């Protein structure tokens, strides 16, 4: 007796990515910003730096004595306009919410935990892992933390300046300015921390492995 081949759609699962639900985006934003704010708190305690606007905010904190949370909020203000132009209103609003939460949690975290002693190398590693994982969670839910990367994309679109080169130049400028404030060993650890953050993202955030739709 002849048999018919089974329907492929009935055998193979639907490979189309499902959209994130609103509550999933909300939980991801909460967890991601908590991770990043804890990483920044540890970096602030150990007097370390990272790249982009977070690194600039930490540097300005060390130079001025003002809290990271208020500086981070102010530094990101000009980039929301670019976020709207480059990414649209939805991305800009999510970015504003994420930056606001990082600022809020960074203000309260020192009151939630009390670190009597913090080894700088450990702070570099765990702070970088926390920050990288927090950013990974946010990226997978189409949310960023504003800053230099949006400006870099804008300049690339309108003036042909390579985004990667521009962001690298900004990070190098922040690192150079830090030589006036930080000890050489803290600068070296900051470079290591930046590498940990970027490696966390590079290894885990690959579009062919994970597609997040909101």
- The backbone torsions φ and ψ at residue 46, rounded to the nearest 5 degrees and listed phi first, read -90, 0
Residue 133, CA distances (Å) to 30, 37, 40, 91, 108 in order: 13, 11, 13, 20, 20
Q: Let me know if residue 188 belongs to a domain.
A: yes
How far is CA 118 from its chain centroid?
23
Residue 75 domain flag: yes
State which residues form the domain around 53.
Answer: 21-204
The predicted model gives 189-210 an average pLDDT of 79
How big is the chain by its Cα radius of gyration, in Å?
A: 20
The pTM of this model reads 0.80
| Tokens standing for residue 154 | 């804008």
In a domain, 81, yes or no: yes
Q: Examine residue 112 and state whether it is found in any structural domain, yes or no.
A: yes
Whether pLDDT at 2 is above 50 = no
Number of structural domains found in the chain:
1
Q: Which of 74, 52, 38, 73 has the alpha carbon at shortest distance from 169? A: 52
Q: Could you read off the pLDDT of 51-108 as tens digits, one per residue?
A: 888 989 999 999 998 999 999 999 988 888 877 877 778 888 888 899 999 999 999 9
Check pLDDT > 90 for residue 186.
yes
In a domain, 14, yes or no: no
The answer to the question of residue 192 being in a domain is yes
Pick the closest to residue 127 from 42, 33, 50, 51 (CA basis): 42
Asked if the structure places residue 56 within a domain, the reply is: yes
Phi and psi, residue 52, nearest 5°: 60, -155
d(CA 12, CA 63) in angstroms, rounded, equals 59
Give 119-167 pLDDT, tens digit per residue: 999 999 999 999 989 988 888 887 778 777 777 767 777 787 776 678 7
> Rounded to the nearest 10 degrees, what angle do helices 68-87 and 22-46 cross at?
140
User: Using an 8 Å Cβ cutoff, are 29 and 141 in contact?
Assistant: yes
In a domain, 11, yes or no: no
Q: Are 77 and 70 within 8 A, CB to CB?
A: no
């Amino acid at each position: 007796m002849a048999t018919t081949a089974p329907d492929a759609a009935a055998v193979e699962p639907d490979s189309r990515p499902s959209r994130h639900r609103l509550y999933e985006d909300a939980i991801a934003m909460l967890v991601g910003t908590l991770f990043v704010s804890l990483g920044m708190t540890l970096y602030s305690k150990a007097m370390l730096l990272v790249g982009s606007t977070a690194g600039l905010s930490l540097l300005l904190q060390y130079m001025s004595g003002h809290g990271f949370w208020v500086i981070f909020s102010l530094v990101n203000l000009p980039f929301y306009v670019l976020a709207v132009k480059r990414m649209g209103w939805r991305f800009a609003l999510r970015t504003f919410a994420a930056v606001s939460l990082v600022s809020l949690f960074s203000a309260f975290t020192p009151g939630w935990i009390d670190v009597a002693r913090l080894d700088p190398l450990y702070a570099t590693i765990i702070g970088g892992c926390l920050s990288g994982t927090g950013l990974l969670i946010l990226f997978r839910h189409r949310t960023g933390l504003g800053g230099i990367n949006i400006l870099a994309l804008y300049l690339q679109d309108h003036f042909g300046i390579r985004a990667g080169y521009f962001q690298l130049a900004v990070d190098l400028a922040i690192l150079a300015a830090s030589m006036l404030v930080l000890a050489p060993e803290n600068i070296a650890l900051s470079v290591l921390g930046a590498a940990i953050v970027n490696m966390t993202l590079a290894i885990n955030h690959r579009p062919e492995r994970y597609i997040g739709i909101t």
